[in-house]
């Protein structure tokens, strides 16, 4: 695993936040035109969320965001037409159990906010048989380009607040 800080420019971050916020806007006139967010319960194998009572919601990013996210990962992996780029909202009591991303060439996490360690929701990677925390930090990218075992600890129930990331999976 590799960790790269300050991956996006301020302009790119503004575009990301504008796109993300447009997808979570709940005003009545926008509701009807919005695609729905999907939940991990319908996409992940059950062993990945066993014991977690919360949901992880995901939604594709807009084309503009996808294009500059794909530029950021080119140094580490070659994206293709099947590359998935999605926003994730890690809700209260969500997380993901230990797994590897072996079915992908590489996977990436981009953190869209600082997330205090005491709130849970931290990435743990098994490196040299030791569990190492990789704290969720605003504008950080984590590259998983091998079969490192990893998991995300349970997100604490912080009222009306979810942990936000962009996840990229390259087949």
For residue 86, what is the domain's CATH number? 2.60.120.620
Residue 31 inside a domain? The answer is no
Residue with tokens 């999605």: 86
Angle at 95 between CA 158 and CA 116, to 5 degrees: 45
Tell me how far apart the alpha carbons of residues 102 and 108 are, in angstroms, rounded to a whole number. Answer: 13
Q: Which residues contact 142 (CB under 8 A, 6 or more apart)?
A: 1, 2, 3, 4, 108, 109, 111, 123, 134
Residue with tokens 């969720």: 136
Structure token digits, residue 81: 């037409």
Angle at 142 between CA 161 and CA 53, to 5 degrees: 35
Helix (H) or strand (E) holding 92: none
> How many domains does the chain divide into?
1
Q: Which pTM does this prediction carry?
A: 0.93
| Candidate from 3-17, 28-42, 61-75, 112-126 with smallest mean pLDDT | 28-42
pLDDT in tens, 52-109: 999 999 999 999 999 999 999 999 999 999 999 999 999 999 999 999 999 999 999 9
Q: Could you list the beta-strand ranges (E) of 6-129.
A: 38-39, 56-60, 84-90, 96-99, 106-111, 123-127
Residue 146 inside a domain? The answer is yes
In angstroms, how far is CA 127 from the centroid of its own chain?
A: 20
Confidence band for 146, pLDDT divided at 50, 70 and 90 = confident
Residue 67 inside a domain? The answer is yes
Residue 88 inside a domain? The answer is yes
The confidence score (pLDDT) of residue 25 equals 74
Residue 100 inside a domain? The answer is yes
Residue 82 inside a domain? The answer is yes
What is the domain range of residue 88?
2-26+37-170
Residue 81 inside a domain? The answer is yes
């Amino acid at each position: 695993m590799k960790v790269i800080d300050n991956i996006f420019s301020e302009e790119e971050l503004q575009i990301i936040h504008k796109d993300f916020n447009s997808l979570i806007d709940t005003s009545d006139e926008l509701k009807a035109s919005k695609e729905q967010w999907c939940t991990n319960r319908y996409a992940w194998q059950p062993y990945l969320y066993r014991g977690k009572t919360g949901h992880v919601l995901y939604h594709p990013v807009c084309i503009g965001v996808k294009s500059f996210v794909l530029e950021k990962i080119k140094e580490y992996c070659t994206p293709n037409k099947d590359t998935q780029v999605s926003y994730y909202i890690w809700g209260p009591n969500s997380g993901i159990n230990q797994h590897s991303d072996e079915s992908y060439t590489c996977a990436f996490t981009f953190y869209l906010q600082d997330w205090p360690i005491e709130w849970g929701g931290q990435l743990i990677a098994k490196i040299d048989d030791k569990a190492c925390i990789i704290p969720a930090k605003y504008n950080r990218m984590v590259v998983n380009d091998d079969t490192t075992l990893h998991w995300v600890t349970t997100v604490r129930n912080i009222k009306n607040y979810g942990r936000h990331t962009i996840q990229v999976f390259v087949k």
